[in-house]
């Protein structure tokens, strides 16, 4: 495999560990825990894994005697920078406790467990992937582990390979399923522990005990670098408005973090749009006003950040999408026989009055995307809707109207971008490299100490790494009951942007200034070697949340 100079140098990087994990450790047990809400129901559903105490690993004078064990690992869902370091931290932790322990990777996500598709992860292989981005060491997948049949199929191969613990690296849904699996194996007395690790660039798996999901730091730094570059171009040519959509299926953490890093002229936060019950026209008018205001001062350029999930947070669009989902699920056959040129009118005639009016107001291309591209569950694939184009087209229409009315006299030329896949497999920043390695290492200790149904947790991460605090959080502690596909289910509570949280408040305080002035910040590329203030900064979100 040919490697770049940076790859070669980076392979030798030794991720930092919390000081407590550098030598022998012992378990410090905290108080028993409770779920965030619906305690009675969740306790009943998880009789064997509910109410467990918080765990912290603290230094101990003497090393333990650990038997050799076999462990399995799964990467689940979308890629996030640092996954390979979780695996290498897990591997190193297991081998340090007993060199005869073995690690198996299940191929292409949870499906690998069910289909018995696996490989042993040896030290030669692990060394090839240290500090690299991507999930390609074993691949990832989105198969959901939820049925007893899958759990039993998985147990067959775990038994065959003598695996007594499984580490699932995933987002909120995958960790919810990890907890259900832990409960199932415990109830059946199968002797298989299940441990989760918090992954997702979206940043929406976080709570009191999990400060951030891994990958968020690196992905936001990559996006901020390119947005910064665009802003320099924008401020050099002074002739374009750049509409930039940013990944994050649901929550707007990525857009908010990038805004804090680059100081754009406009950033839309979906959670605020929903809380203020804004219509699509309200969002368009908000953007158009800023464009017109800047134009009045001769600035016919700027940047707009748009979170990927926006469309579903606009109450009127949400209702339209819900009706379209139901309608097309029932009348898919009839709809497929309607001529393309008549489809728009057909839909307009079939929807309820309000939704029909919203649908009729959409540009042709977006109206088409809403009716054609559906996922296997019959839902619109929101990430495929070009919200950046939808908004810029609608802003252009509004500005043209204002021009006729004599309210606007500028030029409005646009460029569009979507940043998502560009950042998901980047080489992890020092923060993510260290955080992930520590998460994996901590997972090995949770296993060695007999825990199941826990998520690996590393906290105090805005301090230098040797002051980080490592331990485990019972996954049931993060759960509440939510309606999924019409049924109430125990799930990990998804963390959306909090409008009374410090990161949003900081943005809200600054955004009017950033709209008027051209006060762009150009963060530049991630630095892996150099002074700590350049290389080791955590996200602005985390710093603000922790009062730094």
Phi, psi of 375, deg, nearest 5: -85, 175
For ligand FBP, which residue of 15, 18, 72, 78 counts as binding (CB under 6 A)? 78
Cβ 76 to ligand FBP shortest distance, Å: 7
Which CB sits closer to ligand FBP, 27 or 180? 180
Say whether residue 77 binds ligand FBP (CB under 6 A): yes
Cβ 365 to ligand FBP shortest distance, Å: 20
Contact window for ligand FBP (CB under 6 A) among 41-49, 101-109, 195-203, 400-408: 195-203
Which CB sits closer to ligand FBP, 140 or 193? 140
Q: Is 202 a catalytic residue?
A: yes
Residue 516's nearest CA partner among 231, 292, 226, 240 is 292
Distance CA(370)–CA(382), nearest Å, equals: 8
Cβ 171 to ligand FBP shortest distance, Å: 4
Cβ atoms within 10 Å of 543's Cβ, excluding its own: 16
Helix, strand, coil distribution of the chain in percent, nearest 5: 45, 15, 35
- Determine which helix (DSSP H) or strand (DSSP E) holds 343, and give its type and residue range: helix 340-350
The burial class, CB within 10 Å (0-12 / 13-18 / 19+), for 345 is: exposed
Phi, psi of 376, deg, nearest 5: -60, -20
Chain residues 96-135 in contact with ligand FBP, contact rule CB under 6 A: none
Cβ 138 to ligand FBP shortest distance, Å: 16
Identified catalytic residue from 92, 202, 204, 217: 202
Which CB sits closer to ligand FBP, 201 or 475? 201
Distance CA(65)–CA(274), nearest Å, equals: 54
Which CB sits closer to ligand FBP, 171 or 472? 171
Chain residues 416-475 in contact with ligand FBP, contact rule CB under 6 A: 424
Distance CA(200)–CA(436), nearest Å, equals: 12
Binding mask 364-383 for ligand FBP (x = CB under 6 A): -------------------x
Distance CA(279)–CA(394), nearest Å, equals: 13
Say whether residue 196 binds ligand FBP (CB under 6 A): no
Contact window for ligand FBP (CB under 6 A) among 200-208, 273-281, 312-320, 325-333: 200-208
Residue 400's nearest CA partner among 387, 414, 410 is 410
Query: Taking the mean position of all CA atoms in its chain, how far away is CA 48?
Result: 29
Cβ atoms within 10 Å of 303's Cβ, excluding its own: 27
Cβ 213 to ligand FBP shortest distance, Å: 8
Contact window for ligand FBP (CB under 6 A) among 65-73, 76-84, 346-354, 464-472: 76-84
Contact window for ligand FBP (CB under 6 A) among 99-107, 244-252, 261-269, 283-291: 244-252
Which CB sits closer to ligand FBP, 105 or 471? 105
Residue 511's nearest CA partner among 305, 243, 310, 313 is 305
Which CB sits closer to ligand FBP, 194 or 219? 219
For ligand FBP, which residue of 10, 16, 249, 511 counts as binding (CB under 6 A)? 249
Which CB sits closer to ligand FBP, 242 or 249? 249
The DSSP annotation for 252-302 comes to -HHHHHHHHHH--SEE--HHHHHHTT--HHHHHHHHHHHHHHHHHTT---E
Cβ atoms within 10 Å of 290's Cβ, excluding its own: 21
Contact window for ligand FBP (CB under 6 A) among 196-204, 297-305, 369-377, 484-492: 196-204
Binding mask 163-182 for ligand FBP (x = CB under 6 A): --------x-----------
Query: Taking the mean position of all CA atoms in its chain, how far away is CA 253?
Result: 9
Phi, psi of 34, deg, nearest 5: -130, 155
Give the single-character DSSP code of 482. Answer: E
Cβ 215 to ligand FBP shortest distance, Å: 7
Residues 514 and 74 sit within 8 Å (Cβ to Cβ): no
Binding mask 305-344 for ligand FBP (x = CB under 6 A): ---x------------------------------------
Distance CA(143)–CA(230), nearest Å, equals: 37
| 152, two tokens | 């039993």
| 123, two tokens | 């030290």
Which CB sits closer to ligand FBP, 79 or 132? 79
Say whether residue 201 binds ligand FBP (CB under 6 A): yes
Distance CA(253)–CA(265), nearest Å, equals: 18
Which CB sits closer to ligand FBP, 224 or 452? 224
Contact window for ligand FBP (CB under 6 A) among 42-50, 77-85, 357-365, 442-450: 77-85
| Residues belonging to the active site | 202
Residues that bind ligand FBP (CB under 6 A): 77-78, 80, 171, 200-202, 247-249, 308, 383, 424
């Amino acid at each position: 495999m040919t490697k770049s100079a940076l790859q070669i140098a980076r392979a030798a990087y030794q991720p930092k560990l919390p000081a407590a994990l550098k030598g022998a450790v012992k378990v410090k047990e905290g108080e028993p825990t409770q779920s965030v809400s619906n305690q009675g129901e969740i306790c009943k559903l998880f009789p064997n894994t509910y109410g467990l105490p918080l765990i912290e690993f603290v230094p101990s004078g003497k090393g333990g005697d650990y038997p050799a064990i076999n462990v399995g690992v799964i990467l689940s869902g979308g890629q996030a920078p640092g996954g390979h370091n979780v695996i290498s931290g897990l591997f190193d932790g297991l081998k340090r406790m007993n060199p005869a322990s073995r690690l198996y990777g299940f191929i292409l996500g949870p499906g690998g467990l069910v289909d018995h598709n696996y490989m042993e992860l040896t030290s030669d292989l692990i060394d090839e992937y240290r500090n690299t981005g991507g999930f390609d060491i074993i691949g990832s997948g989105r198969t959901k582990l939820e049925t007893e049949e899958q759990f039993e199929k998985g147990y067959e191969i775990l038994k065959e390979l003598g695996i007594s613990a499984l580490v699932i690296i995933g987002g909120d849904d995958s960790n919810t399923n990890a907890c259900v699996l832990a409960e199932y194996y415990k109830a059946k007395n199968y002797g298989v522990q299940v441990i989760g690790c918090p992954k997702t660039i979206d940043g929406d798996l976080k709570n009191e005990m999990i400060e951030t999901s891994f990958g968020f730091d690196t992905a936001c730094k990559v996006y901020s670098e390119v947005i910064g570059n665009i802003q320099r171009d924008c401020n050099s040519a002074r002739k374009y408005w750049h509409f930039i959509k940013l990944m994050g299926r649901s929550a707007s953490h990525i857009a908010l973090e990038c805004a804090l890093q680059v100081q754009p002229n406009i950033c839309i936060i979906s959670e605020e749009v929903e809380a203020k019950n804004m219509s699509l026209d309200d969002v368009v008018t908000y953007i158009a006003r800023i464009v017109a205001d800047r134009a009045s001062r001769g600035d016919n350029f700027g940047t707009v950040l748009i979170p990927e999930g926006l469309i579903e947070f606009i109450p009127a669009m949400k209702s339209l999408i819900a009706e379209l989902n139901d309608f097309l699920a029932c009348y898919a056959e009839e709809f497929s026989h309607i001529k393309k040129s008549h489809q728009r009118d057909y839909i307009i005639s079939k929807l309820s009055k309000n939704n029909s009016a919203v649908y009729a107001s959409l540009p042709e291309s977006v109206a088409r995307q809403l009716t054609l591209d559906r996922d296997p569950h019959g839902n619109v694939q929101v990430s495929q809707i070009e919200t950046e184009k939808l908004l810029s087209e609608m802003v252009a229409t509004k500005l043209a109207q204002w021009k006729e009315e004599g309210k606007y006299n500028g030029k409005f030329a646009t460029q569009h971008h979507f940043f998502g896949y560009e950042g998901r497999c980047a080489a992890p920043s020092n923060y993510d490299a260290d955080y992930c390695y520590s998460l994996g290492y901590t997972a090995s200790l949770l296993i060695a100490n007999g825990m199941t149904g826990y998520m690996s947790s590393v906290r105090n991460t805005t301090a230098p790494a040797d002051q980080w605090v490592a331990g485990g959080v019972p996954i049931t502690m993060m759960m509440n009951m939510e309606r999924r596909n019409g049924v109430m289910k125990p799930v990990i509570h998804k963390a959306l942007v909090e409008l009374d949280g410090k990161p949003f408040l900081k943005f809200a305080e600054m955004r009017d200034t950033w709209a008027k002035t051209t006060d762009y910040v150009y963060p530049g590329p991630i630095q892996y070697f150099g002074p700590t203030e350049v290389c080791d900064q955590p996200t602005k979100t985390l710093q603000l949340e922790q009062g730094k």
